[in-house]
Structure 1
């Protein structure tokens, strides 16, 4: 769950630090005050797309940081234990509603115990992911952060260590799920309905396997189609490949050949200089007249030194080792002289061999320009060309193999797609029933909901049997053979129609909340964020939406941006967001409201201006929500 959130220089937020409640956190405030900007900041923290326009004017970068607990969420019955604050306030020393609210809120922060099993499983999965990337939690917590620079560059970190945006997204996907007003649009896009159904049916692992197989099948089909088409083009390609292979093979290249040729060319090109150096070396050792200069033999000088040293050894045996060393040096120098003389005798001028080397080096250079930077790359080019040529020349055999493979793919994919389709069909009615129950609670009491599942026949598709009908072939993509669409009949006697044809804005909001309420039970993400999901809802429906959102705290921490007092009244922690102008600059201020402030804020939301009547109405609304939560908590505990 999200424990702390820090935002700096992000849009109109100068500096903000929040400590969040385990249960239901609500943000309210005037339009444009910055409520949704907080959600934008969280989205950036989770690795979402973000641009430089979010960097506060006059600043070089914006920073968002979140402290997350990765331990399993405590049970709601242990987390929220309010007093019977209104019926028995006086028995607990509470003289006013504000005292009672404060006592209840104090109780809600006491140490916790039991953990939800599903969230515990999520913690294990997250721990495995952190281990994969060598991320070590500190006392069951990790810190995610992201810097957004004016240049547009961003830097993501986990526990202070820079990681890729992809890794940040992977880790964050186990921590937080954001549902904004754009989610309503996803509900109106039929292509998204299959994803909702599969989440409810817990089919995502099977979907992943199916998607992998379909991807392999598509690649194999592309190869098959390529072989079956453009025969003339393939024949021209084969001729070109034969030319390249023949040219490379005729060159008879050897790895390391260029270096050998360069060394030999250097020797042949410098034959005269080599002889001069040999004569000079030999004469310095053995003695000779070279030009106008006479060299004294080095060996003669060393022999004189050897005789002196021998005489010295006769007088002092400790110098014997040095005498032996000098003798060895004389022998070695004589060997050097003999070797240099022999080398000089072998030096010859060979213009023809030098010309052959030049031609060979030029030939290899041309091949390198055409086929690769090194002889190894040129030889590999020939190997690759031969493999491609074999594929073309063995086309008929390969086509037969791929056709057989295509049949195997279709059979395997068809069987898996059939299993998924069967599971969807079984689950569809359960989802429809659950949706109707939720819609009944959301004041759409007579609405009927249906999950339509259809298949599209396709001769090139995969085999499947639908509703005990004869086996047919159906179009199949990475989601399977089904085309799923949600239908609704808001009123009795009306036929089922697509959501886009019937649902109003308020109905769409309630449909999404109903769906999220259902999916939340199968959703292991510990923190859910709703950005004004109550759009288009008011009155009694708002009360029910508040109840539904608070019910989600059974398995989740919930954060909500709302404009409805009925929803705000259910908050366990209530924040007010407002704009202020400081030093000619607009900044966003967020305050955690105490009980008396909450009453005034809800009164303000209810009517704009605060009056005695609106304050009393707000108190009553808060009282109803607290009593409802207390009863709900008792039911959970029992």
Structure 2
């Protein structure tokens, strides 16, 4: 419930503070007096769109602050958003609007904490619902019509709708995953062909040893120099062990050295270690001579093996150029693409799995949507009978109304397209409400609709902006009674020109424009004080002021008949309230 509204420099309002009460709060005044500005200020405070025109001329900023009575729903929202409560009884929402030469800036706060627009939208639905005769456009919007029907359907329907939103998200994810895989299928096939060729090519060369190329290069050198190696090995053998020339071999020299050291040891045993070293050297030399001789004898030319080695070297170097640059890197690449190829070969099965997953989630979504459709049809039957009953007292005794539900593509809100079908006159076919309803008929329909859904609506304050335009007499009285009926469940704010509606108010405010002098600080060219137009609101708290306002609405404050009519309206309204209390 809206407790207090404070406005500064908003449109024609310089400063204004209003305190609203429970029940029916009515704003009256001449056309153009500024009644709708107050509703615009409420809308702005709750995150509505604003432009630079809402800032009062001559000022740089506007501010609107709305204080609402707190409840369990608001307390839970504040806790979810981690916003502290000012007190247990109220929530303060404010918005500051400023303008530059290029844009408009605004900052919204809840209990002094800055909040973004998305948070304000979520909070707005918990606080206020604004209904105006201009909602013909909304009646033609399938989403709004669907929301009205679902709201009337109650908790079970809304819970099913929430369940559909979850299933629809899962379906969207499965569908997107499948489409992504299908989109990349051509790339997958191209990559599959490439990797298949590369795996076959690398597999054909039998890559196992990363040192194979180095070993082959060494073997090629040996095979190319067999004769040289034979000659050099024989030369080493001669130098070490058996020299064909007259020069002694190394073995002979060591033998002479050994004999001399033996003689020396007989005189000095300290030389024994040296003798042992010479003997060890001689044994080593003999082993080297034996092995080099065997090596030389084993060497033989092998042109066929040399050709094989050359071919293998060329093959490995080609592989290194394509997949290396080293053989070790080529082998690592081969192992890597074998895994990638296995994944690509398994992707076909992945597509089948994704298709099955998509079909499974679509089946769940379809089933959930079917259940929601059944709930909506039940809610539609209830709304049809309830709405017709609400419209009959509003001088629409012969009205026909039907909720048309036709299947459509499943979405997060179900698989139904919902249209309100309407026929105000007997013998006329049902047609879409938004296309055929007159302004007065639309006003009454919206009021009756709010009466049907208000008990399920989370908003604590309902605002009606001139919803009684285009009606009079008995219909206006019926609208007044319907507004009062709604005000017993929710706080109602209503802008009206109808004295019958205004008479039913629990709190009555008169809105008018006044011309004031700005003071000595601002002079016009002729020296007089600058005059400005401002909006003023007066709370009509006593019977005399209310009677005078109702008389003015009815036909002129000075007319005796109008005063009498106003008194009769107030008496009639009092009697109606008393009869409802019984």
What's the TM-score, normalizing by structure 1? 0.62
Q: 2:163 aligns with which of 175, 196, 209?
A: 209
Partner of 2:425: 491
Shift, 1:231, TM fit: 4.1
Q: 2:468 aligns with which of 527, 534, 549?
A: 534
Shift, 1:236, TM fit: 6.4
Measured in 2, the distance between the counterparts of 1:220 and 1:620 equals: 68
Partner of 2:575: 627
Asked whether the 8 Å contact 1:606–1:614 carries over to 2, the reply is yes
Correspondence 1:151-170 to 2 at 5 A: 151=100, 152-170=104-122
Measured in 2, the distance between the counterparts of 1:173 and 1:627 equals: 34
Partner of 2:228: none
Is the deviation greater in 427-436 or in 154-163? 154-163
Partner of 1:587: 534
Partner of 1:374: none
Paired residue secondary structure (1:223): helix
Does residue 84 of structure 2 align to residue 135 of structure 1? Answer: yes
Structure 1 residues 189 and 168, CA gap change in structure 2 (3 angstroms): closer
Correspondence 1:20-39 to 2 at 5 A: 20-39=20-39
Shift, 1:596, TM fit: 1.0
Shift, 1:389, TM fit: 10
Shift, 1:387, TM fit: 12
Partner of 2:8: 8
Partner of 1:432: 384
Measured in 2, the distance between the counterparts of 1:617 and 1:389 equals: 92
Measured in 1, the distance between the counterparts of 2:55 and 2:118 equals: 22
Structure 1 residues 231 and 59, CA gap change in structure 2 (3 angstroms): same
Structure 1 residues 388 and 197, CA gap change in structure 2 (3 angstroms): farther
Measured in 1, the distance between the counterparts of 2:339 and 2:357 equals: 20
Shift, 1:624, TM fit: 0.6
Measured in 1, the distance between the counterparts of 2:158 and 2:369 equals: 13
Structure 1 residues 236 and 197, CA gap change in structure 2 (3 angstroms): same
Asked whether the 8 Å contact 1:135–1:158 carries over to 2, the reply is no
Measured in 2, the distance between the counterparts of 1:426 and 1:620 equals: 44
Structure 1 residues 486 and 169, CA gap change in structure 2 (3 angstroms): closer
Structure 1 residues 392 and 448, CA gap change in structure 2 (3 angstroms): farther
Is the deviation greater in 15-24 or in 491-500? 491-500
Structure 1 residues 574 and 241, CA gap change in structure 2 (3 angstroms): farther
Shift, 1:390, TM fit: 9.2
Correspondence 1:82-101 to 2 at 5 A: none
Measured in 2, the distance between the counterparts of 1:179 and 1:407 equals: 42
Does residue 564 of structure 2 align to residue 613 of structure 1? Answer: no
Per-residue CA distance 1:218-248 (angstroms, 9 max, x = gap)? 2322332333246445556899999xxxxxx
Shift, 1:12, TM fit: 0.7
Asked whether the 8 Å contact 2:498–2:553 carries over to 1, the reply is yes
Correspondence 1:5-84 to 2 at 5 A: 5-70=5-70
Paired residue secondary structure (2:67): strand
Structure 1 residues 497 and 586, CA gap change in structure 2 (3 angstroms): same
Paired residue secondary structure (1:450): strand
Q: Which runs of 5+ in 2 are unaligned?
A: 197-337, 518-530
Shift, 1:153, TM fit: 1.4
Structure with greater Cα Rg = 2
Measured in 2, the distance between the counterparts of 1:223 and 1:238 equals: 20
Asked whether the 8 Å contact 1:569–1:602 carries over to 2, the reply is yes
Measured in 2, the distance between the counterparts of 1:227 and 1:184 equals: 45
Measured in 2, the distance between the counterparts of 1:392 and 1:481 equals: 37
Asked whether the 8 Å contact 1:190–1:486 carries over to 2, the reply is no
Partner of 1:325: none
Structure 1 residues 217 and 608, CA gap change in structure 2 (3 angstroms): farther
Asked whether the 8 Å contact 1:46–1:173 carries over to 2, the reply is no
Paired residue secondary structure (2:151): helix
Structure 1 residues 482 and 166, CA gap change in structure 2 (3 angstroms): closer
What's the TM-score, normalizing by structure 2? 0.68
Per-residue CA distance 1:40-76 (angstroms, 9 max, x = gap)? 1101111222223211111121111112211xxxxxx
Asked whether the 8 Å contact 1:576–1:591 carries over to 2, the reply is yes
Shift, 1:195, TM fit: 1.5
Asked whether the 8 Å contact 2:508–2:539 carries over to 1, the reply is yes
Q: 2:365 aligns with which of 413, 429, 443?
A: 413
Shift, 1:391, TM fit: 8.0
Asked whether the 8 Å contact 2:145–2:420 carries over to 1, the reply is yes
Asked whether the 8 Å contact 1:179–1:533 carries over to 2, the reply is yes
Structure 1 residues 490 and 136, CA gap change in structure 2 (3 angstroms): same
Measured in 1, the distance between the counterparts of 2:497 and 2:532 equals: 26
Q: Which runs of 5+ in 1 are unaligned?
A: 71-122, 243-385, 457-474
Partner of 2:507: 573
Correspondence 1:308-347 to 2 at 5 A: none
Structure 1 residues 215 and 625, CA gap change in structure 2 (3 angstroms): same
Q: Which runs of 4+ in 1 moved over 6 A?
A: 236-242, 386-393
Measured in 2, the distance between the counterparts of 1:485 and 1:144 equals: 36
Measured in 2, the distance between the counterparts of 1:596 and 1:208 equals: 53
Measured in 2, the distance between the counterparts of 1:633 and 1:391 equals: 76
Partner of 1:482: 416
Shift, 1:171, TM fit: 2.9
Asked whether the 8 Å contact 2:125–2:458 carries over to 1, the reply is no
Shift, 1:395, TM fit: 3.5
Structure 1 residues 591 and 418, CA gap change in structure 2 (3 angstroms): same
Partner of 2:480: 546
Measured in 2, the distance between the counterparts of 1:389 and 1:206 equals: 45
Measured in 1, the distance between the counterparts of 2:340 and 2:152 equals: 47
Partner of 2:126: 174
Structure 1 residues 400 and 537, CA gap change in structure 2 (3 angstroms): same
Paired residue secondary structure (2:410): coil
